[in-house]
Chain A
Amino acid sequence: MSGFPTPNPYGSNRKRRSPVGAVVIAVIVIAALVQTCAKDDSGSGSSGNANEGLADVPNGCTAVDAASSPEKVELLTKLAATFNRSAAAKEGGCTVIRVQKKSSGVATAALAAGWKDPAVDGPQPTIWSPAASSWGAVLNFRLEKDGQPAMAPADAKPFMLTPLVLAMPKPMAEALGYPATPIGFADLIALSQDPDGWASKGHPEWGKFKLGKTNPNFSTSALSATIAQYYAATGKQSGLSLEDLNDPKVEEFSRAVESSVVHYGDITLTFLNNWFKNDARGTALTYVSAVAVEEKSVIDYNRGNPDGITDPGERPRPPKVPLVAVYPKEGTLFSDNPFFVLEAPWVTDAQKKGARAFERFVQEPANQRQVLEFGFRPGNPAVPVSAPIVAANGVNPTEPQTELQVPSPPVLAGVIDKWAEHRKSARVLLVIDVSGSMGEEGAAGATKLDLAKEAAVGALGQFKDDDEVGLRVFSTGIGPDTHSDYVDLVPIGTIGVNGETLRAKIRSLIPTNGTPLYTVARDSHAEMRKSYDPSRINAVLLLTDGRNEDERNKDLDATLAALGEGNEGQATSPVRLFPIAYGSGADLGVLEQMADATSAKAYDASNPATIKDVFTNVVSNF
């Protein structure tokens, strides 16, 4: 595509012509327009079947697709709708902006691979707005490694901003001197290594210092927090290098930090939702001591809306123990939500022009003021930072004072790789439903069990060699007399030793009888608690496609009570239960109650085709 303009084929210098000539010209113009539109549509990748929910594109208009990270998709969709009706969208043609939700890491991977499958990934985007510009650097780095030109331009403007902060319950932050004394990553890491824990700060009742972290492969705040952790290990504030990452002292420091992690979450919202539920139970202070999140999440939490989404009928209620945002004294990193107008082979000049018009539109002060409503700081400096970014919501608009330098892309990739090595090891029991209904069709030519087996085998690759994993299957009457509802196919052992056996056993599973859900959930959880290993993250992953069909055990309350005894905020040997509701017949409501009882999260795979992604998300908690 040339960067230079070509003459407009429908030029503005009209002359008086004969009627016949006018008709002919009209035919030519219409044909040309139809051709142009067809090109634009195919250029946007809008012909795939992944376009459900996307706006229709009228004839003569250019579809400009935008892939947005989840936290701003609601706002961008709203702005796109306003833009599509505005005069700005009609300047020099007609543009229709269509916004799709795509997490930053997933979009980076799809773009690096050429966004080859719009039917799965959604339409090929013209605009990409990940949570932070570092994702653009990672994309360009991956493309460069593959000999491809960069796609993310260096001059992208931020749409909105939010700094990474350490969210802490206010009493805990005050025990560390907040707000008068600056607190940093190094202070918290030192406290996490103190065997006396909070007792060293006069609060033995809070137990050990517990750090909450999310997975940097999926979460921007987790990536930022992990970068900050490595900076804290080196004492640097800029210039983090691969040599630093490989320094034995830095590695030792990093392993020590990870050992204090109570558990990982796939995304921060999972953490905040669980924290909020623990607050309701009065266990907020023993659930976790600090979690690295974006500033806007602290505002959402203190407003009583930890996931930032107000569901119909939801009445946000502030927590009993509010959180405060600690701006690390060493500096922090920003999620700057850049607006990349992609230099991708599928992007046409017309789409670029439309994207630029939308970019100008979202930068207008009236539209920038809307980002404040969502707890973000405006990207346009002409719009002041104001409510809700105020002290009453636990945040400070005059902070941070300095920033940590975003490392170069090779170092960013190295940070993620090192985290995978250093993260706290897991001990997980995979519990898979092999009831008769798993033999039903899940996709063309494959049963639900076939799809689940493929996803489970794929997910094993996410574990590291010294993670411990076992396999249990369940269905009524399947096991020995002592516990007739389940059978252990592979005892818990390290992936390094058990990996091949696990894969073989999973591949050999076949569907059998009914679904004794409550019994297998209760017993599996209890056994994992009995053999609890404090040096690891202990969890049960339970996949089921049905409802409890066990006449011998129909007592949900008793099951939930038993699971609750192992709750993160209450027990010294917490085991979390992550259920996957698989297929349309699964009892998602009950599974959510089970997950809540253990401060975990239930995952919805009611569409069997999504099971692979869901498995990936669940395993990212370990």
Chain B
Amino acid sequence: MVTRVLAVLAAVAMVVGAIVVRANLDNNGAGGTTSPTTLRIVCATELAAVCEALDGQVGTTVEDASTTAARLTTVGDGQEPPLDGWLVTAPWPEIVDGARSRAGSEPFLDVGDVLARSPVVLAVNTTRSKVLAARCNAEVGWKCVGDAAGVAWQDLPNGRPEWGPVKVGHPPATTAGGLTIAGAAAVGYFDGSTDLSATELADRGFQNWLRRLESGPQIPGSPLLTMLSRPSAFDVVGALEAEAGPAIATASATKPVLLYPSPVATADVVLATSDGGAGRRVAELLAGTAARRALAAAGWRVDGVPPAAGIRTSVKLPTTSNLPEPDVLDALRSAVEQAGR
């Protein structure tokens, strides 16, 4: 008898417990809008440090900008987007909304203020930089680098045969940094003009130049880190200062020369959101000290936060990014991909 009573009590307790648990789960999960644990942030690969700093407070994903862009472009009107905040560099959100508009879907991303910035740099093998400078009439810029790409060093004044061809590298244009660098290179080719269109990109001279620029080694991983660990791989690497500055500062081998080609172009970090409430909470998180410090520690220039080692604050940044318009950058992404084949 006692056993039966206990069994009934236990059964009742389990039912009550299950109801309590269910109620809790419902409270936490309803629409994903009431608890901070349901916030979902996607960071572009170059901004992984921010997602790592916020991991545990929110759900985080790190992936290349083009991967997120492809997901967002195909979200149907009225469907819930697969994220609450996308931390990326401009103008990737505009590229997504542009693609959505062209596909007949509603643009849905709100873009906040610039959170951090980083200029585009060229890291050049120290020994060979003088030879390149002579070729470039003392000012090593994108136009000259592209012209020299693939040329045998021995064909340049004071170049040596054992150096092989001039090898140029940069991250792929499918990444946040890579697209910024490609934009800076194109602006450099067109003498600093950011007022570009598809017509300029179709120019045969530009396309030939782009093919030379893209003819460098295809080595997995970061070209800048590859250059630092095996200097024979690349002679010139385009990168963001956020990566290059700290990495060169801590590198043990012969450090490459860091140049800021003119006009200085910048990768500007923005937060794109798709939902008012959740978006505001993500924005508050990213405006917080932890996120700002994480950005600065990762080499980004953040107003009011001391920069990481290797960030040359004496180089002032322009007021705008000095990049072409979003649709032109999107077209450039395709052109770079074609040229690299």
Interface residues of A (CB under 8 A from B): 2-8, 11-13, 15, 17-18, 20-21, 23-25, 28, 92, 133, 136, 153-158, 161, 163, 182, 237-239, 329-332, 334, 336, 338, 377-385, 399-403, 405-406
Contacts and interface: CB of A to CB of B under 8 A. Distances in A.
Given A25-B21, A381-B247, A383-B252, A7 B29 contact: yes
Contact of B252 (A6, A12, A238, A384): A384
20 contacts: A5-B40, A8-B37, A12-B56, A13-B35, A20-B16, A20-B17, A154-B220, A154-B221, A156-B221, A158-B229, A163-B232, A329-B161, A334-B233, A381-B228, A381-B247, A381-B251, A382-B251, A401-B160, A401-B162, A402-B167
Contacts of A406: 217-219
A400 B160 CA distance: 13
Contacts of A382: 250-252
B251 A3 contact: no
Nearest to B229: A381
A131 B38 CA distance: 41
Contacts of B63: 3
A158 B219 CA distance: 10
Contacts of B160: 401
A402 B164 contact: yes
A13 B13 contact: no
B15 to A, nearest CB: 9
A21 B13 CA distance: 8
A334 B230 contact: yes
Contacts of B150: 238
Given A6-B59, A12-B37, A25-B21, A161 B229 contact: yes
Given A21-B21, A156-B220, A406-B219, 9 more contacts: A3-B63, A20-B17, A24-B18, A92-B56, A156-B221, A334-B233, A381-B247, A382-B250, A401-B232
A181 to B, nearest CB: 11
A153 B63 CA distance: 12
A239 B215 contact: yes
B45 interface: yes
Contacts of A402: 162-165, 167, 232
B181 interface: no
B99 interface: no
Contacts of A156: 220-221
Nearest to B82: A4
Contacts of B40: 4-5
Given A21-B16, A382-B250, A403 B232 contact: yes
Contacts of A136: 220
A481 B307 CA distance: 91
B282 interface: no
B67 interface: yes
A477 to B, nearest CB: 61
Contacts of A13: 28, 35, 37
Nearest to B13: A20
A238 B37 contact: no
A238 B59 contact: no
Given A238-B217, A401-B162, A15 B24 contact: yes
A338 B230 contact: no
Contact of A11 (B18, B28, B161): B28
Contacts of B16: 18, 20-21
Contacts of A12: 37, 56
Interface residues of B, number: 55
Contact of B164 (A239, A334, A380, A403): A403
Contacts of A11: 28, 37
B201 interface: no
A18 B28 contact: no
Contacts of A238: 150, 165, 215, 217
B126 interface: no
A342 to B, nearest CB: 14
Contact of B163 (A8, A157, A334, A401): A401
Most buried by B among A6, A28, A382: A382
Contacts of A385: 252-253
A382 B229 CA distance: 8
A381 B225 contact: yes
Contact of A155 (B37, B61, B220): B220
A3 B32 CA distance: 18
Contact of A331 (B37, B71, B164, B251): B164
Contacts of B21: 21, 24-25, 28
Contacts of B13: 20, 23-24
A331 B229 contact: no
Contacts of A25: 17, 21
Contacts of B233: 334, 403
B60 interface: yes
Interface in B173-223: 215, 217-222
B23 to A, nearest CB: 10
A401 B61 contact: no
A13 B16 CA distance: 20
A25 to B, nearest CB: 6
B287 interface: no
B83 interface: yes
B14 interface: yes
Contact of A377 (B42, B221, B229): B229
A13 to B, nearest CB: 6
B290 interface: no
Contacts of B162: 182, 329, 401-402
B138 interface: no
Nearest to B18: A24
